[in-house]
Chain A
Amino acid sequence: MLLADIGYGVLLLTLAAALWAGVASIIGVWRRRPELVASARNALFVTAGLSTLSAILLLVLLFSHEFEVRYVYEHVSTYLKPAYVLAAFWAGLEGSQLLWLWMLTIFVAVLVWRRPTWDRELRPYAMVVLALTEAFFAFLLILLTNPFELLASVPVEGISLNPLLQNFWMIVHPPIIFAAYALWTIPAAYALAALMTGRLNAVWLRGTRRWTLAAWASLGIGILIGAWWAYLELGWGGYWGWDPVENSSLIPFLVGTAFVHSAILQERRDMFRAWNVLLAVLTFALTVFATFVTRSGLIQSVHAFAESPIGWYYLGYIVLLLAVTVGLMLARRQELRGKGELGDLLSREFAFLVTNLLLLGSAAAVLLGTLWPTFTESVTKVATSLAAENYNRFMGPLGFLLVLLIGICPVVEWRKISAERLLRNISVQILVAVVTAVLLLVLGVRELWAVLSFAATAFAASTILLQMAQGVAAHMRTVPAVAAAEVATMGASGAAADPPRSSRHPNVFVATARAVGGNRRRYGGQLIHFSILLIVIGITGSQAYQTEVQVALAKGESAQVGDYTLTYQDYIYRQVEEGGNKILNEATLDVYRGGRKLTTVRPEHNLHSNVEGAVSEVAIRTNLKEDLYVVLASMESDGLAAFQVLVNPMVVWLWIGGLVMIAGTLVATWPSRKRGEAS
């Protein structure tokens, strides 16, 4: 198979180019030979080109159904829809590893494309780390997860993609997660570069800020999309199960969030230098750890991923990475001491410290929970597993405090704030929180924790809205200098009998745009905080008020679920599409509320020739208040069917929160038109 051989050859060349980039940049910085650094830069472009080529080759093989290639045979078939052939690229271990390498090489190429500016000193050292990481991934692809491996004989048909993965969000989820993992390599590389050069001031943080935020947001969005996929496709009515697979992407997200926050402290106050270096490297190490978790077989998961020795290579890499980091940190003890002075306990500095501790505490707890069976087994000989409730018991309170801090931090001043002043700054918010709590109690909400959560969310949201309103109001009062200048020029040209629009006090929209435009970082951050609050609302609502009914119905029978009445009207049983690959079982239910017909839902319970057991396709009716979630669990030949029906309140706010998070990140990172402004 020529193409597959070429693919494997290209992987070998990718490894060679990445190794050369690593070696050339090491010698280049060591011997001060800029021409070698330039050669390393070229090699990084070559690596990106080569890995793109191998990705294209794999795609071509997948789309042309070359079943002689094991990966193609295992993940596609002639009847698989083209969009899902794309999903098949990253459905398996080999393809997802190639995707990771590809993403990394592309981002690194983009990074080194621009000639060094702020990072003239740091760039060659960062390139060492980036190139060696690329080489490591390429090495593993060649050694353990070659996607171009051939089978001894050529099968006539492929196994095809697991139906559970045949979902739009499974086309999108893995690339976003791996993009996030790849992006986190960049701040880590610069942290190490800062350690190696001893340039540990905030320059490396400021310079990598956009990369960091892009990494942070992609990881957050990737996690949310994964949750959405689970909700739509797995048919158990939930979106998060505290499974090791989910936890392993949440842990770097929490540590990365801590990093994003403590970076601000170093930029503004030159504190936490050592912390930031460590957190940047740790976040990246934890993204690699995520793959170790899913592939090593060390951790018990209901998601039995194919085990592969690759996990142990990753562990080795993490150990090496952390050892180097800690070693360098010890060597740079002096430079890691920031010049910033700590403030009072009632200060923004301390609020940031508490935020960091809460985020890192929750990350540590999720990590410990994930490893708990392994840990207890080695101590007591009996492996003990945590239930979702255990996670909720610590995540609930820690999340509650974090939400409160979203409301408190912006109104606390740097260095010191008096208790009276702090209280005055949050008096309106406290009032809003109390009113919210009382309203909820009056409306009959009895779960105390839900009341507390909603009240805290209202508290934090009112801080954000108040600050926003103050910013907008300030802009409405002032006629900006630019507008005044316009008036002058227009006056000179004699066109201003009527005062031009821009010289009036701006209306609320113009003022909002100006306020946000003038301080994108701040308002972007506020918008991201707001998105977190929306997500908290979604989690609280769906956790506190889920209604579940399991019921068996014959045709014509009805069931009551919450306010809804579902009447089982009809069923369909037939072979469909995909070359007789799928047997469709579909139930038709009419949904009524208060005697009025709302909609008709059609949950499915299908049999596919390439998976054992059945695959449920959930029917969901969504609105802003709640989701009606109907699962057809089984169906007899006479139509007697078992249904699982859930009413999940407010779930949609999780996904809306995700959209707001994207918007906030775009606002915070959008390149400024003003040149020279520190980004």
Chain B
Amino acid sequence: MPAVAAAIGLACALGTARPARAQHHAGHEMHDMNGATRNAAVWRMPPMPPSMPMLPGLMRLEPALTPFLPGAGIDPATLPAARPREVIALGDGDTLHLTAGLVRRTINGRTFTMYGFNGQYPGPLIRVPKDATIVVVFDNHIDLPSSIHWHGVRVENRYDGVPGLTQEPVAPGDSFVYHVRFPDAGIYWYHPHHREDIQQDLGLYGNLLVDSPRPDYYSPVNREEVLTLDDLLIDDTGLFPYGRERATHTLMGRFGNIMLVNGEPRYELSVKKGAVVRFFLTNVSNTRTFNLSFGGARMKVVGADISRFEREQWVESVVIAPAQRYIVEVLFDTPGRLALTNRVQAIDHFLATFYPEVDTLGIVTVADAPAAEDHTAAFETLRVNDDVAADIERYRAEFDRPVDHELVLTTRVGELPTLIVQIMSLDTLYFPPVEWNDAMPDMNYLATGENVEWILREAGTGRENMDIHWRFRQGDVVKIRLHNDADSFHPMQHPIHVHGQRFLVLERDGVPNDNLVWKDTALLPVGSTVDLLVEMSNPGEWMLHCHIAEHLEAGMKMAFTVEGQT
């Protein structure tokens, strides 16, 4: 046995013999908790859930990247304090100046240097009428190149905000002018499409609420609430650093350990008894899939990414993956305090068991006094949206068409420490359909775009990611089959986003979907297969990618062209 290997092995073992909890703080003592070094970007072991041991041999490893946090060298006290989101109502032809900049955020009494649009968290809620076109002058005042992608909005291609495909990245200090038309009513969002793993995670996101001209587009309710769902990873030192050159956390994506609703760790809402509230939900997190419920209050799902459902449907909870939107209506008919919770069954990989994990995201207080208007009868009625069904009916003849393109979603690893490879090979005998939490933070944070590659592989040709390039003509309707390979090194769910177009999820695992809705992001659990019917209505060069920010950074993207009609 080589002496050097023996010494290293011995040292590994010794290093791991300390209790896992004590190791959470390893290296932290060097930081001044109260001073300007709070924003110091220094690698340390990621925060671990109390029940989860760190893996021996990994504790002294760190990503082969430069740690990055925003605003290096800037005293946070000199930055403007971020303020809660404002609603900006715009009409056709209006102009909005949107500036990405450094802000000072206080979360749970702790101060961090983060990003914000117009100094707000989230960015301004932009409310526009359907079919309006607005002009957005984007000024980039952060310390990274950036852009704005109008997620789900079928914009003109040159304004889609994808660096390298539709525009050059907007350098710090530069500007870009977007013209954004809103052809569909509903809830959308905007975010950078450049290093989303950093910029979006640090607060650069906002919603777009597009109003239908029809007053009966939705059922009458007492109130509307627009909620962004997010999480943020911090430890005793502060924000956990990002990789400057590439993303970290590329195995599972960067899970946070603080839940944020509209940028706040505790959402609060007060309503009167009998109130019906329509919630517009957007998952803006890097990777977390939420399972939301409102303390047992009755709930129905009304709409999703780009339209309402053909039929409203009762649901017990809402499963919402990154980038997805759902519109739900909730009846609060019992006075008291109801918790908005994310309830999942997490996995303890060491004991090979599941355990319940409940995150309280907020509280809804229901007063004894009755709501001024009683919308209970409308709530009790599950609407059938004939206009949605009629729109979809135009495509029904294509439902049985042969599959036009097939993608297999998989991964490839290389240059991971052998210990990780060995452990994960042992552990991958079973993978849950959805990873609801970061079950292995120490391994996850060591994975970078350099040693983990996420892959869209075209069945038939074997082409991968940006080597794939499909061509369509405007007006084509195509069936795309996506299969999430359960046999890869580390299978995981993927929320697949198609830019610039809308699609229907026709079937899942061979089972036809009998309640359709237009979407732009579909969740594929591990092992599953979905057939999408995509309406190629919008010409240009577009992207299809996984919306787990770190998977996108690790390569899981491809492009396709829709040629316009001449």
Whether both chains belong to one complex is answered with no
